[in-house]
Amino acid sequence: MGNNTVKSRSEIRDVVAQGIQDTKIIDVHTHLFPPSFGELCLYGIDELLTYHYLISEAFLWLDIPYESFWKMSKREQADLIWETLFLQNSPVSEAAQGILTILDELNVPVSKNLDDVRRAFDQRDVDEYISRVMHVSNVEEIVMTNDPFDPAERQYWEKGEMGDDRFRSALRLDPLVNDWDHTVALVREMGYEVDERVDRRTVKSLQQFLKDWIEKIHPLYVALSLPHTFTFPERGSSTRILEECLIPICEQYELPMALMVGTKRQVNPDLKLAGDMAGRADMAALENLCRQYPHQKFLVTMLSRENQYELITLSRKFRNLMIFGCWWFLNTPYLVEEITRMRFQLLGNRFIPQHSDCRVFEQLIYKWKHTKHILENLLMEHYEQLLKKGWPVEVSDIRNDIEKLLRGNVLHFINS
C-alpha cells in the first residue's frame, strides 16, 4: 500500500475532518445580498432572531394577535422571540440552536441577557464582517435569489453591475410560471407588450424580457419554486410559458433551471413569510420535463420528505437532473442525515448535498456547520466499509470526494 493510503478508523476521521474543513463551499441557493445592496444585506442578532423560521416557532407559544407583532419594531420583535424561545423555553429546535452555534463560532460570550449579546455584535464594518462570516463558514461563493419583480431589489440592478465576485446571481421567476394572470400587469409596467392569453406576441415579448434580465444580471441559472400541485404538461399558461419562453431561452443561453418543488404557499397568511408549508408533489411533472428536454439541465430540490426517495430514483434515470440540498423544513439534522444517507446509497457522490437558504449572513455559519457534521459522520462510515473490504482508500480519494460534494458537482453540472 502506498504512503497516501489510510490505514485506520482514526486516520479516516482525521482525513475526512480535515478535508471538510479545508474545502471551500459553493452555496448554490441563498437569499443573501452583497453589502452594495444596502438594506437587503441582512446581518446581526436582531435580524437573526426575527428569521421567519423562528417567528413561526414563537407564535406557537404567543397569544398576542398577529397584527400586534407586525406593528412592533425589529428590536421589539427580537426581544419577544428571545423571551419566548430562549428564556421561557430552552432553545431546542434547529433554528434556535442555530443561534447558539453562531454565537459560539463568532466567540460571542453566551448570555441570557440579549443586550449583552447585542453589544458583542455591535461594531461592524459591513464588508469586513461579511468576509469574516464567509471565512468562518468557509463559504467561497454565494448564489443569491434575484427577483426582477421586486422593486426594492430592481433599483440596485438598474444602477449597473453588482461588482462583488463573492456573489453569483440566479434569476428567480416564480410569478411568471405560477401566477401569470397577475404577473402580466407587472411585466407590462416594465415596458413589455404582453397579454393574459399567451399568444405569439406575448411569447416574443416574454422572451425579450428574459433575455434582457439574463444580460443584465448574468445568472448562474434560472430558478422557480413550484407548488406541490405543479403538473407538466398541462393546458394552462404555465406550460406555454415554460415550453415557449423559459426553456428555449435557457437553451439559448445554456442556463440550467433550478426547480424547487413542493410549496404550499400562505397556508396561514397572518404569518406572512412564515406562513408557507410543504406538500407532497406528483413526480410525473419532473419526469416529463427531464425526458422531453434531455439537453436542458435541471437542478432539483423537493420540499416534502415523502418525495425524497422518488426524487433519488428519478435522478438515477436522467443525467440532466442534479439533486440539490435539503430544503427549508428538511434542513433539520435528523432529516438531513436520513436523506443524505439515502442519496449516498443510491447515487454515490453524484448529488449536491446541501444549500443554506440563508437570509441573514451569520446563518451561513450554523447551517454549514450542522451539515458538515452530518456529512463527516456519513463519509466516515463509507470509508470504514471500504477499508474493511480491503479497498485501498487514499487520502486523495477522500479529498476528491469531498471536493465534489461541497463544490465540484455544482461547478461541473452548471458549466459542462
The site for ligand RAT (CB under 6 A) is made up of 31, 145, 225, 260, 273, 328, 357, 359
Closest approach of ligand RAT to the CB of residue 95, in Å: 11
The Cα 290–Cα 294 span in angstroms is 6
Contact predicate 359/42, CB 8 Å: yes
Closest approach of ligand RAT to the CB of residue 382, in Å: 29
Decide whether 23 or 137 has the Cβ nearer to ligand RAT.
Answer: 137
- Tell me which residue has its CB nearest to Zn ion: 357
Of these partners, ligand RAT, Zn ion, none, which one is at the site of residue 205 (CB under 5 to 8 Å by kind)? none
Of these partners, ligand RAT, Zn ion, none, which one is at the site of residue 297 (CB under 5 to 8 Å by kind)? none
**Rg (the chain; Cα; Å):** 22
| DSSP tag of 266 | T
- Tell me which residue has its CB nearest to ligand RAT: 328
Per the DSSP assignment, residues forming a β-bridge with 171 are 146, 222
Contact predicate 220/170, CB 8 Å: yes
Decide whether 230 or 383 has the Cβ nearer to ligand RAT.
Answer: 230
The Cα 140–Cα 154 span in angstroms is 25
Size of the site for Zn ion (CB under 5 A): 1
Decide whether 106 or 271 has the Cβ nearer to ligand RAT.
Answer: 271
Closest approach of ligand RAT to the CB of residue 260, in Å: 6
Q: What is the dihedral of CA 332, 366, 265, 214, to 10 degrees?
A: -130
Closest approach of ligand RAT to the CB of residue 389, in Å: 40
Contact predicate 238/203, CB 8 Å: no
Contact predicate 283/261, CB 8 Å: no
Decide whether 145 or 304 has the Cβ nearer to ligand RAT.
Answer: 145
Closest approach of ligand RAT to the CB of residue 204, in Å: 29
Overall size of the chain counted in residues: 416
Decide whether 267 or 273 has the Cβ nearer to ligand RAT.
Answer: 273
**The cell 477499508 sits on which residue?**
387
What one-letter code names the amino acid at 226?
A: L
Of these partners, Zn ion, ligand RAT, none, which one is at the site of residue 399 (CB under 5 to 8 Å by kind)? none
Closest approach of ligand RAT to the CB of residue 400, in Å: 30
Decide whether 343 or 359 has the Cβ nearer to Zn ion.
Answer: 359
What is the sign of the dihedral through the CA atoms of 61, 64, 70 and 75? negative
Pick from 262, 258, 408: nearest CA to 320: 258
What one-letter code names the amino acid at 222?
A: V
Of these partners, ligand RAT, Zn ion, none, which one is at the site of residue 343 (CB under 5 to 8 Å by kind)? none
| DSSP tag of 37 | G
Closest approach of ligand RAT to the CB of residue 359, in Å: 6
Of these partners, ligand RAT, Zn ion, none, which one is at the site of residue 382 (CB under 5 to 8 Å by kind)? none
Window 328-367: contact mask with Zn ion (x via CB under 5 A): -----------------------------x----------
Closest approach of Zn ion to the CB of residue 5, in Å: 41
**The cell 470504514 sits on which residue?**
384
For 346, other C-beta atoms within 10 Å of its C-beta total: 14
Closest approach of ligand RAT to the CB of residue 31, in Å: 6
Of these partners, ligand RAT, Zn ion, none, which one is at the site of residue 77 (CB under 5 to 8 Å by kind)? none
Helix ranges restricted to H, 190-240: 200-217, 237-240
CA distances from 416 to 247, 256, 286 (A): 18, 11, 21
Angle between helices 180-189 and 200-217 (to 10 degrees): 70
Q: Is 401 in the site for Zn ion (CB under 5 A)?
A: no
Decide whether 32 or 414 has the Cβ nearer to ligand RAT.
Answer: 32
Of these partners, Zn ion, ligand RAT, none, which one is at the site of residue 225 (CB under 5 to 8 Å by kind)? ligand RAT
**The cell 482525521 sits on which residue?**
14
| Grid cell locating 301 | 430540490
H/E segment holding residue 117: helix 114-121
Decide whether 27 or 357 has the Cβ nearer to ligand RAT.
Answer: 357
Decide whether 57 or 357 has the Cβ nearer to Zn ion.
Answer: 357
Q: Binding residues for Zn ion, per CB under 5 A?
A: 357
